[in-house]
């Protein structure tokens, strides 16, 4: 294990112990059976790599929803802001409040819908930017803010083909005009979201882009009545669209998955050099030898064909290891691949470590990440399970502490 790096251990709220108490990976392992390791230098480098493909007119909005895709929202947000990111995006009101309570002052866009006066009051109090999707929402915000005698910057979302949140693109101009007329609302941004930006076939993405351009063209024609105000910021590109086509960058790009070092699709890997930020590590808690014919774990999905040395490792599906990976995944110990055997249980997994005869209790297993010349990625798990890497990253539960590695 590499030592000499500053490390902090945080709970869900990213409250960390004094780094002087925990100052090496070895000490972290003594305190924890398993953990999520977050490489903050890799995070900063990913920001730099993405910024290099943006023009000076385009800002990066870091998407830190879902606890920063499982990486720890507060520490990730603080790191990317220090790296020059100007905007943050979250999915829910509590996610935005968490960042504000941590002292983060950058503009924060709430991507999810807000529907109650109490939520509007909280949005205003914490100075978050809400997404308005319907006339009813816009009226609710205007009326509530009027009662508070307060103005608020808002953004409107145009549904150009995702068929999720947003006003239909055919009604985009009408919705814009309503929001512009309503008191106490200051229109700060207009955006949409792609449904197929990660596909090698750009047909649908181009159709959505065309619809967005039509709406913006109509809005610009009617903007003359409000010459004193700055035209709203425009954004439509997620990670995939950002890597695929610079014509989609506009004023902001919303970067989620690629911020954390993964590519939305294989054909986009040449666009920029990214490094995975997350590693999953756990400790061996017992080593034993079983004889041929011995079953392992629930249901005896694995029965040893020969004498086998197995390692029990303190991590399981309650921590975020998908149970459907049973007998299909590998780990890395001392730079060597070892196979997982038997059904994955709630708190533990078993590995065939016959190729490491002197393995000791307490040694570290890398389940996601790199060890020596080999690595295991979230894409590997996703491909095995027939899902996406986003789901893998977001699946690691909060009983696994986030350990921030700082160069």
Residue 351 · residue 313 · CB < 8 Å: yes
Told to judge if 298 belongs to the known catalytic residues of this protein, a careful annotator would answer yes
Taking residue 2's Cβ as centre, other Cβ atoms within 10 Å add up to: 8
Told to judge if 228 belongs to the known catalytic residues of this protein, a careful annotator would answer no
For 203, residues 6+ apart whose C-beta sits below 8 A from its C-beta are none
Collapse the DSSP code of 190 into the 3-class scheme (helix H, G, I; strand E, B; otherwise coil) and give the result: strand
64/74 Cα distance (integer angstroms): 9
Q: What angle do CA 234, 237, 243 make, to 5 degrees?
A: 140
Residue 381 · residue 281 · CB < 8 Å: no
201/256 Cα distance (integer angstroms): 21
Query: Which residue of the set 65, 78, 157, 281 is catalytic?
Result: 65
Query: Which residue of the set 210, 298, 300, 374 is catalytic?
Result: 298
For 190, residues 6+ apart whose C-beta sits below 8 A from its C-beta are 155, 156, 157, 158, 176, 215, 216, 219, 232, 233, 234
Taking residue 244's Cβ as centre, other Cβ atoms within 10 Å add up to: 23
396/407 Cα distance (integer angstroms): 24
Q: Catalytic residue positions?
A: 65, 298
């Amino acid at each position: 294990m590499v030592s000499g790096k500053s490390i902090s251990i945080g709970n869900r709220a990213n409250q960390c112990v004094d780094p002087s108490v925990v100052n090496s990976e070895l000490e972290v392992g003594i305190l924890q059976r398993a953990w999520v390791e977050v490489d903050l230098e890799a995070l900063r480098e990913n920001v730099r790599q993405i910024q290099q493909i943006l023009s000076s007119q385009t800002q990066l909005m870091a998407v830190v929803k879902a606890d920063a895709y499982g990486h720890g929202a507060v520490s990730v947000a603080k790191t990317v802001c220090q790296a020059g990111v100007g905007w943050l995006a979250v999915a829910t009101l509590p996610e935005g409040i968490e960042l504000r309570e941590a002292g983060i002052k950058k503009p924060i866009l709430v991507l999810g819908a807000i529907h109650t006066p109490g939520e509007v009051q909280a949005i205003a109090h914490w100075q978050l930017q809400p997404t308005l999707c319907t006339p009813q929402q816009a009226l609710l915000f205007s009326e509530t803010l009027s009662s508070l005698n307060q103005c608020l910057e808002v953004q409107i979302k145009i549904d150009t083909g995702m068929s999720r949140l947003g006003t239909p693109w055919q009604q985009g101009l009408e919705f814009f005009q309503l929001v512009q007329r309503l008191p106490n609302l200051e229109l700060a941004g207009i955006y949409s979201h792609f449904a197929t930006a990660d596909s090698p076939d750009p047909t649908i993405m181009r159709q959505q882009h065309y619809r967005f351009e039509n709406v913006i063209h109509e809005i610009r024609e009617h903007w003359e009545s409000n010459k004193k105000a700055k035209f709203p910021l425009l954004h439509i590109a997620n990670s995939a669209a950002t890597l695929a086509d610079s014509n989609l960058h506009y004023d902001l790009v919303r970067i989620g998955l690629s911020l954390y070092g993964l590519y939305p699709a294989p054909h986009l890997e040449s666009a920029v050099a990214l490094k995975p930020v997350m590693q999953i590590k756990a400790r061996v808690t017992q080593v034993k030898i079983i004889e041929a014919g011995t079953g392992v774990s629930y249901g005896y999905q694995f029965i040893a064909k020969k004498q086998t040395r197995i390692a029990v490792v303190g991590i399981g599906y309650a921590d975020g290891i998908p149970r459907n990976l049973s007998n299909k995944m590998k780990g890395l110990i001392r730079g060597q691949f070892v196979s997982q055997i038997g059904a994955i249980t709630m708190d533990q997994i078993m590995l065939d470590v016959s190729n490491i005869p002197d393995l000791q209790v307490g040694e570290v297993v890398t389940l996601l990440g790199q060890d020596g010349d080999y690595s295991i990625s979230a894409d590997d798990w996703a491909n095995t399970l027939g899902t996406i890497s986003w789901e893998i990253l977001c699946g690691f539960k909060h009983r696994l502490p986030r350990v921030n590695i700082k160069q």
